[in-house]
Structure 1
């Protein structure tokens, strides 16, 4: 167990020495890189989490009381803030996909409404033509019924009498009218 601890300490000494030899501004940029990366996610929880992790790392480094702990803490904090920032990026990608799907659904809804409006226009046209056809059918049916009715005898406008104002002085039928039928014996 102690052998394992010594190996881990030996492995960590090299990165710690490398971190101690880095300029301050480079170390500061390395610490705040996840926070800058998380700014692109536009999610406040991701930005706050990475900022707090990086602030904690800076406080531990600034204290300088436990340099053997500060290096590993800085590495762990940086890795944690990087993971949180990458999670924020993944979350942002998911929201972009959802937004893309929402845009496609909106486009399909608009196309469907356009189709329904066109279908409604066609339906109105079909209804109008159906009404015209029904009216034509009714007119044809009434004309057929009128044609099928037996002809009614023409009614005289005035009664026929033997003596009329239009009769000849000889007592015959008025001039210009057909002669009355003669009874056959």
Structure 2
């Protein structure tokens, strides 16, 4: 799962690619937030849905860095952002969306490219409940939505009938990834 480095970067990317932003607010000290990170997010069906969002990790706690390898210095919990980045993201989320209210974690905020809240859900969610929430947001953001892979060059070739990306046509035209994910759960 890829986390954007900041809320501003996530909103900018959301505008560029036309996908909603998922802000995941976590508190690692309690088992609830860590449980979702460790057991719900890694589920293959959940990951396929999460790829349709621009994701931001917002956590106020210091997390240990990865010590070696290409991700050296990144948070050992969030993997694609540093501890300072996910802490700064929480400050930005608090300032823009949560205000001074007590933060309930885990919490998932969904915003559009303009930064307006689409949906908000607090508390621990099961895999099925989280998949349903993700699907509901995607349906609301783009009725009739189905995953599409844009042609990076803007020119289609004969690799597939879905914009020239060889693997873009792997999904049936009438059934989206998210529907299959929810049905499998």
Query: Taking structure 1 as the reference length, what is the TM-score of the superposition?
Result: 0.22
Name the larger-Rg structure: 1
Higher helix share: 1
Higher strand share: 2
**Which protein, 1 or 2, shows the higher relative CO under an 8 Å CA cutoff with sep ≥ 6?**
2
